[in-house]
Chains A and B, each alone.
Chain A
Amino acid sequence: MQGFLSTHGRKLTISSIAAGVLLLVSACSNSSTGASGALDPKADLTKQSLVVSNWASYNPPDLAAKFQAAIGPKVTITNHATNEEIMAKLTSGADSGIDVAFVSGQYAQALAAQGLLEPIDTALIPNLKNLYPEASKLAYDVGNKFSVPYTWGTTGICYRKDLTGFDPTSWNDLLNPIAKLKGKTTMLATERWLMLPAQKLLGYSANTTSATEMDKVKAQLISTKKTLLAYDDTTFYTRLVSGEAAMVEAWDGWCNYGITDNKNIKFVIPKEGSDLWVDTMVILKTSKNKEAAHAFINYILDPTVNSWVINNVLYKTPDKAAMDVTAAKLGVTYPNMLMTPADLLKQENLLDLGTSGPMYTKIATEVTSSK
């Protein structure tokens, strides 16, 4: 609720100024096609300041202070709870006041398609060399033209072998559970991941827009619903730890949180395959501090900075330099930290659904409200 109020307050104050500024900015960026040419590598960064929007606890707590001390610009970090929340801010039409945003790949794709993103100027981000070569082959933005990947991972089955009695290998183990596991499984409720297990089990793309395919996905998910303990996006790993659930659909990093508390918890990518999700950093076209924004992304890609997210959020990053330092040690406790980029690239990148978005939303409602 507080988030709502502050968002509104912000919009009110900004929109009055923004109305004028926006016209200027859009006029400027329209006149110089390929606006990246306007960036000045020698700009005085201490004169610039940044507003960065990220998920809470998804960057080092002292990031702003350290960045300012090392590079110069003052940084204000604001938080968004979901991709959708930050999308609402960025697409509302007025200047959001945000310079750099952390969004998932398919949302970066949607923002780029709307012309809201500043092309990445590789000359200003020398640390791009730290990334695995695979990190520039991501389908939502091949070549990282508009986005720089921050973390990546996949979705699979997180389970307690002492409760299941076997190692699941297929999405079928989750979607059509054996009798003793009925009422002991959960699925993610966010619609792309709600659909994913059924899409993969049925052999479809995670980005399918075919209505007949999605009808079959819906039928499977409606029959699965009767076997579920709950839909859960936030506390599924604690349900494994307490023993309330035996097997849950989970993001790899989140399964690690369960493993921290209970060593019987394991993670598997089902044999039918899964998704490759990527959280990215993007620079808004409306930013007036684009040089500082590039410097910020460059700073994040420094292995000493980027290893924070690996060690503390237990996510993998496409930053080879950072992974080389930390992943081997973590892999002892959290085997999925050792997954190679090649393994990850075998999974399917989630893409923006465009005009098929509402179809997914409607099916999600039909599934979750079914009796």
Chain B
Amino acid sequence: MTSTIPTRVSRDSEKRRDLLERMVLQGPGLLFITIFMATPITLVAIYSIFQRGRFGGIVYKATTENFTRALDPVYLGVLTDSLKIAGITTILAIAIGYPTAYAIAKLPTKWRSIALVLVVMPFWTNFLIRTYSWIMLFNREGLLNHALLKFNIIHTPLDLLYTQSAVVVGLLYGYLPLMILPLYASIERLDPQLGEAAANLGATRTRAFFSLTLPLTASGLIAGSIFVFIPSLGNFIVPELLGGGKTVMVGNLIRDQFLKARDWPFGSVLALSVIALVFIFFMLQNAVEKRFSSDAHD
């Protein structure tokens, strides 16, 4: 009886301390996100229902016109192109990234960290500069063509840039490390004994990969896919530089509405539609991940 009262008091104060601790730890992050993420998104949502002023700016008269305009075939075409380009980039990133991450995870510990540093190293240089240097390397009068011509491997310069494929390759180059890193993390965590057990129980290597390795590394695979897909979808530097401005992605379209056309309301609608798409992909990620992890437990 005597002991219950102090316990309750201490539990209360513990709760309070817990709350305080959470406020101190989470507060700054939450505040930062609220100010710098929630506010702009709210602004974008508000702008989307108003009209463009004749000279730019916002006229605060509500309209749905911006939304119907976004359904115009031109803009839907740009959006599907963007989804296609980002999708192909992601698939290629998986195809290249998975074996790479797997190989790194199987390296001796010493080499593993060196390999990881090599993967991350491109990030030490600005993305724009890296992309621009591709033009120096691969244009018709670039280093590669000059070298190939000099050694008589080709006789007319190759046109490697300013196509949709060049955009995909550029995006892949830029974002591949974002696929390799989460994949590596999940492959590295795999318990080697599970593989031995599967082999002992008679599973072929293919079978073991598909019913064991793949489901257990699905979270890394999905995280990597999201990390590659989303920035690819919104990128506008690569289509402009490596695509020679001849491929238009939704990122270019949004940038142009804000910085060239002075049409903030329509730009906001386009931005919102990308946010909505990204949100849908996150929901899908969640659903798929849940299925995979329950599969793996079965």
Contacts and interface: CB of A to CB of B under 8 A. Distances in A.
Interface of A: 82, 84-85, 87-88, 91-93, 110-111, 113-114, 183, 189-191, 225, 228-232, 242-244, 352, 354-355, 357-358, 361-362, 364-366, 368-369
A85 B262 CA distance: 9
16 contacts: A84-B56, A84-B259, A85-B259, A87-B55, A87-B262, A92-B57, A183-B159, A231-B246, A242-B141, A354-B54, A361-B256, A361-B263, A362-B72, A362-B74, A369-B81, A369-B248
A92 B53 CA distance: 11
A232 B245 contact: yes
A98 B257 CA distance: 24
A365 B244 contact: no
Q: 10 closest A-B pairs (Cβ-Cβ)?
A: A230-B244, A231-B245, A369-B248, A361-B261, A242-B141, A110-B55, A91-B57, A244-B141, A244-B140, A230-B162
Given A183-B159, A242-B139, A361-B261, A91 B246 contact: no
B57 A82 contact: no
A230 B74 CA distance: 20
B246 A225 contact: yes
Contact of B74 (A228, A352, A365): A365
B246 A368 contact: yes
Interface in B102-116: none
Contact of A93 (B57, B75, B263): B57
B260 interface: yes
Contact of B75 (A91, A92, A230, A365): A365
Interface string B140-158: 1100000000000000000
Interface of B: 52-57, 72, 74-75, 77-78, 81, 139-141, 159, 162, 244-248, 253, 256-263, 266
B233 to A, nearest CB: 15
Contacts of B253: 365
Given A91-B57, A183-B159, A357 B261 contact: yes
A369 B78 contact: yes
B260 A91 contact: no
B91 to A, nearest CB: 22
Contact of B245 (A92, A191, A230): A230
Given A228-B246, A365-B248, 18 more contacts: A84-B260, A84-B262, A88-B259, A91-B262, A111-B55, A189-B245, A230-B245, A231-B244, A231-B246, A244-B140, A358-B261, A358-B263, A361-B257, A365-B75, A365-B253, A368-B246, A368-B248, A369-B78
B56 A355 contact: no
A92 B253 CA distance: 21
Listed residue (B72, B81, B259) with the most chain A CB atoms within 10 angstroms of its CB:
B259
Contacts of B56: 84, 87-88, 91
Contacts of B245: 189, 230-232, 368
A229 B244 contact: yes
A295 to B, nearest CB: 28
B55 to A, nearest CB: 5
B246 A244 contact: no
Nearest to A114: B55
Contacts of A242: 139, 141
A344 B248 CA distance: 34
A362 B70 CA distance: 11
